[in-house]
Amino acid sequence: MNTIKRAIIIAAGIGVRMQPLTNYVPKPMVKVGGVPMIESIIQALHQNGINEIHIVVGHLKEQFSVLKDTYDVDIIENPYYDSCNNISSLYCAKEYLKDVIILDGDQIIKNPNILHKEFTYSGYSVIYKEECKNEWLLTVDDNKIVQSCSRYGGKNGYQLFSVSRWNEEDGNKLKQLLELEFDVNKDRDIYWDDVAMFKHFEDFQLGIYEMQEGDIIEIDELKDLVLIDDTYKDFL
């Protein structure tokens, strides 16, 4: 059994699909019901006893300083945020890749229990779907070990969410592969998840951690935001 000791929250992106709102506010700092999305993550981590939190920032980075004052988090600046995909953000936090939970900052955690500290295999939090489109969908074996991943959805699989756990061994391996792709191969236009799920899938044995609908809310674009907080309807 492994135990999470720290968290990395990826929060550097420009948030193009939520412009013009994100021209003024970084996407993870957008308030839903009066609370910035990223604060729902920090608070849920604290409820699970995970207090070492590293936040990777870039776009409008100065607005995250309030989190350092309020929650004593560590702020890591990503100088590549506007020229590379999010592989650059995890690359900037690669020294913390052991016994870690990695999350995107533009999610709302409704059920803090999904961020539990104890875990067996490195792997992703998921929700079972009979059918979904345009989402990463995992197939697993009888022991819930990941066998394959589709970028485009499918039927009778597990939708991958941006919450993943990595033990020390797999975290060290992920660090080395990030360095390989970013520094050597110069492959900087990919998601960091591509490293483990596609480019070096055979190097990992990943499990899944099941969630239920409503445990977590992903906000991809403005229309998603308006559905849960109509005070933003004028931005559509």
| pLDDT on residue 215 | 97
Helix (H) or strand (E) holding 70: helix 65-71
| pLDDT on residue 4 | 98
Q: Which two tokens stand for residue 59?
A: 């776009």
| C-beta separation of 78 from 56 below 8 A | yes
pLDDT < 70 positions in the chain: none
| pLDDT on residue 234 | 84
| pLDDT on residue 236 | 80
> Among all chains, which residue has been given the structure tokens 């990941």?
146
Domain-by-domain residue ranges, the chain? Answer: 2-235
Peptide bond into 20 cis (omega under 30): yes
| pLDDT on residue 80 | 97
Count CB atoms within 10 A of the CB of residue 234. 8
Asked: is 2-235 a CATH 3.90.1170.50 domain? The reply is no
In angstroms, what CA-CA distances link 22 with 150, 189, 218?
Answer: 30, 21, 16
Q: Which residues pair with 192 in a beta bridge?
A: none
Count CB atoms within 10 A of the CB of residue 228. 12
